Structure 1
Amino acid sequence: KKEAAAVLHKFYAKWNKAYSHVIKGLKEIEPDLLVFYNYPKQIRASIYSTNMIESFNNVIKRKAKPKAEFPTEQSLDAFIGIQAMSYNDRYFNRIHKCFGQVQDTLESYFD
């Protein structure tokens, strides 16, 4: 985490003059940018990746396509909610890549 923070601060120094507004925004959220370093190394890639979200979005798109359009916003909300519950039920017992190896460590975070 210290090395990542050092690289980030070098980035700030290099680009602050040209992109001061962007660097200011990054500095404001810096604690959140590096939070995944608090977790075991085995699962970091899964935490900062968007693969699981993209997969779920593709399921929603594929199932919504035959419907063409929804009469109200509430019907769309209900449809997405049902798809989310179905997706969760289908993958409830699945352990994502490397999470099984660090399950005890993760559980200790919530004790």
Structure 2
Amino acid sequence: DGLKGISDSVFSIYPASSYQTCCVHLSRTIAHKVRVSDRAEICEDFKSVYRAESLEMGQQALHSFVEKWKSKYPKVTKPLLNNSYLFTFYSFPKSIWRSIYSTNLIESFNKQIKKYSKRKEQFPNEESLERFLVSQFDQYNQRFATRCHIG
């Protein structure tokens, strides 16, 4: 299982950390695995899982989602039931849930770092690469320092 490997890697380095599966990417995966005629409805139903008002309501929404779709799409619903990292964000303040259940900001930054690092034909040494990366992190932190979490 891919999630197991990723989470094991995270926990081996940061044993006290929390891991969250990206709900937006799960939604996209679900959309790709269902009939086009069902996409809008199943994705809307899945939103109720990660946009619930509490952990209990989220778990209830997941149960309802699975009951509704399990006979038609068992390969979509079964992995959701086995995903122990689906509800991690509920243990944080509600004001930052949206920033946690979607990893798009982080992935966008990682893509940007990769793009800029590739453009540099070569760095004369590891220290120059490190200085470049630190400057990118600093710019990122300055840009998002005043960012308000929706909620």
Indicate conservation of the 8 Å contact 2:113/2:133, yes or no.
no
Equivalent residues in 2 for 1:1-111 (5 A)? 1-29=55-83, 31-49=84-102, 50-67=104-121, 82=130, 84-88=133-137, 95=145, 97=147
d(CA) in 1 for partners of 2:133, 2:62: 36
Indicate conservation of the 8 Å contact 1:16/1:23, yes or no.
yes
Q: How many residues align?
A: 89
Q: Which has the higher contact order (CA 8 A, sep 6+)?
A: 1
Following superposition, the deviation at residue 43 of structure 1 comes to: 1.3
Indicate conservation of the 8 Å contact 2:90/2:97, yes or no.
yes
In the superposition, the TM-score normalised over structure 1's length comes to: 0.59
Following superposition, the deviation at residue 35 of structure 1 comes to: 1.0
Amino acid at match of 1:62: Y
In the superposition, the TM-score normalised over structure 2's length comes to: 0.46
Which structure has greater helix proportion? 1
Please state whether the residue corresponding to 1:57 is helix, strand or coil: helix
Please state whether the residue corresponding to 1:32 is helix, strand or coil: coil
CA RMSD of aligned residues (A): 3.1
d(CA) in 2 for partners of 1:55, 1:10: 35
Unaligned runs of 5+ in 1: 100-111
Overall identity of the aligned pairs, in %: 27
Unaligned runs of 5+ in 2: 1-54
